[in-house]
Structures are given as C-alpha cells and as structure tokens.
Structure 1
Amino acid sequence: MVIFAVWMLFFDSNSLIIHSELNEDISDLENEKEYYRNEIEKDKKAIKELSTEDGIEKLAREKYYMKKDDEDIFIIEYEDSLKIEKKNE
C-alpha cells in the first residue's frame, strides 16, 4: 500500500507535482486572460470614441497637431516637462 501511495504521489503521470505545475499554469493563463479582456475593453472604448467626428478631430489635434486653415497652434511646454541634459560643471 505504501509503495502504491508513493508511486501515485511522485512517479505517476497524474502525480501531485504535475498537478501543482498545471495549477500554476492555469493561474497564469487566467491572469493573462483577464489582462487581455481589460485591453479589449480599452480598445473598444477607443474605437467608440474614434467613431465620431469629434473623436477623430480630437485625436488629430492632440496627437498630430493638425489645425483648421484659419487657426494657429501654440504648444506650451512647462519647464518640468522638458527633458534637459544637465552639464557637469
């Protein structure tokens, strides 16, 4: 009986070691699945936003700095947002 128990716990193809490894894999895959579900939701929101004229105009203005013919664009950058290299003195 002891030999059978040892065999089933450690050497069999359905051993506890393999079960624990498979449970870890399942957990990792479930976490990955949740991550991708969240990413899909973000993408759906972005697609919904870009499906309107206002959304497209907002993206064009903010990301690509596009403007209408009769407009001027001024980009204001604050000192703390600039990447300035410090010189060694």
Structure 2
Amino acid sequence: MIQRVWSSIPSWLKNRYSFTILVFLVWMLFFDQNDIISQIELKQQLNSVENKREYYKTQIKETRSDLENLLNDNEKLERFARERYLMKKPNEEIFVIVDEEK
C-alpha cells in the first residue's frame, strides 16, 4: 500500500528541497497573513483611494478658482448669493419654482 502510493508520487516531489519549496509557496500564496488574495484586494483599494484623491484635488482647484472669482467680482458674488441663498434686494420679490419630480 505505502509502496504503491510512494511510487505514484512524481520523482521531483520526492526530493526534500523541491517538497520544501512547494510547501513554502503554498503557504505564502494561501495561508500567510500577506497572501496573494489580500495583496490583490489591497492593490484595488489603493487604486480606488488614488482615484478619489485625484478627483478631490481637481475639485479643490475648481473651488479655489470659484472663490477667487467671487472675491474679485461683485456681480458674480451677487449672482451666487441670489441663486444659492435666495437673497434679494429690498424692492424685489422672489418666486421659487420647485420641481416635483425631484
């Protein structure tokens, strides 16, 4: 019985160094704390965070340019205040039209 099992094992696995390397690779790929599956997931998370970082960098640039425009141009500041905060002059009336679909 044991002889039959031993003869069915490939000769390269009978070598203790090959067997040790194989066990080490299996351990590193599947059982270690830093296995290959964890590394792939961490790489995907890193890519996601880097993409979000780039998005927020562009948003910050746009917001800073808008702020600069608002601080330097009174007409744009007045338009922004009227649209965003529904501000009005003393002699005006404002009618707000609400979309019922939203």
Q: State if a TM-score over 0.5 links the two structures.
A: yes
Residue identity in the other structure for 1:20: I
Q: Structure 1 residue 82: deviation in Å?
A: 5.9
The structure whose residues are more often helix, as a share, is 2
2:62 corresponds to which residue?
Answer: 42
Alignment TM-score, normalising by the size of structure 2: 0.59
Alignment RMSD (CA, Å): 2.6
State the identity as a percent. Answer: 31
1:23 — aligned with what?
Answer: 43
Q: What count of residue pairs does the alignment treat as equivalent? A: 79
In 1, Cα distance between equivalents of 2:94 and 2:35: 67
Aligned counterparts of 1:8 and 1:72: Cα–Cα separation in 2: 73
Q: For residues 3 and 83 of structure 1, what CA distance do their matches in structure 2 show?
A: 65
The structure, 1 or 2, with the larger RCO (C-alpha pairs under 8 Å, 6+ apart) is: 1
Gaps of 5+ in 1: 85-89
Instruction: For residue 51 of structure 1, give the secondary structure of its aligned residue in structure 2.
Output: helix
**CA 1:13/1:49 → structure 2, altered by over 3 Å: closer, same or farther?**
same
Equivalent residue in structure 1 for 2:88, among 66, 75, 79 = 66
Q: Rg bigger for which structure?
A: 2
Structure 2: segments with no counterpart, 5+ residues: 1-20
Report the Cα distance in structure 1 between the residues aligned to 2:56 and 2:29, rounded to whole angstroms. Answer: 36
TM-score (norm 1): 0.65
